[in-house]
Amino acid sequence: MNPNTSQCLQWLADTRQLPSPNFNTRPEGSEVSLLVIHNISLPAGEFGGGCIEKLFTNCLDCDAHPSFADLRGLEVSSHCLINRDGVITQFVPFNQRAWHAGESSFQGQSNCNDFSIGIELEGTDDCPYTASQYQALHQLTLQIMAAYPAITPDRIVGHCDIAPGRKTDPGASFDWVYFKGLLA
């Protein structure tokens, strides 16, 4: 299936959609072939409160918390966020390029945003993810893999794998063995 056709999965059905302005068109001929798993919490180590959604939609009040000062003017997004309860929010259609990976490389190919889908888990590197998050990530990953068959289990990576030394997420708390076992 050509990833640039309208037949590919773009928006999830029956999922909260909160469109982000932080995306653009993938380069001509790019094939969606990588799934990148991230983590995020705002403020760091705190869950809930809607700050992640506000960040991804450029609505975060950077004066609301001292740690938000570094986020002023930042334009980032991910395709989806899975909160601690396993609720999925989609920000960018899968066929578009979300701004989640930054400077990155996978198997010698740079600019991973060009060919990847980014999924954020509400969490931190050292706080275990919830069973609800793993279940939602499992179901979401199966949908994505069905629509984008170039994404295979060996092409599902952490942000740390495509930006080593710069990023550490999803961190040691993410159970890769368990998650990959769900996909088997």
Alpha helices in the chain (DSSP H): 51-56, 131-147, 159-162, 176-183
Cis peptide before 21 (omega within 30 of 0): no
Which residues are 36's β-sheet partners?
Answer: 118, 157
3-class secondary structure, 34: strand
Answer whether 42's CB lies under 8 Å from 52's CB: yes
pLDDT block averages, 10 residues each, the chain of length 184: 55 96 97 98 97 98 96 97 98 98 97 98 98 98 97 98 97 98 94
User: Residue 77 phi/psi, 5° resolution?
Assistant: -160, 170
User: Residue 9 phi/psi, 5° resolution?
Assistant: -60, 125
Which residue among 31, 53, 120, 122 is the active-site one?
A: 120
Answer whether 168's CB lies under 8 Å from 123's CB: no
In this predicted structure, what is the pLDDT of residue 1? 35
Residue ranges of domains in the chain, CATH in brackets: 16-183 (3.40.80.10)
In this predicted structure, what is the pLDDT of residue 8? 78
Judge residue 79's burial from the number of C-beta atoms within 10 Å of its C-beta, 0-12 exposed, 13-18 middle, 19 or more buried: buried
Answer whether 112's CB lies under 8 Å from 106's CB: yes
Answer whether 130's CB lies under 8 Å from 87's CB: no
Answer whether 23's CB lies under 8 Å from 96's CB: yes
In this predicted structure, what is the pLDDT of residue 7? 53
Active site residue 46: no
What is the H or E stretch that residue 25 is in?
strand 23-25
- Tokens representing 57 are 């939609």
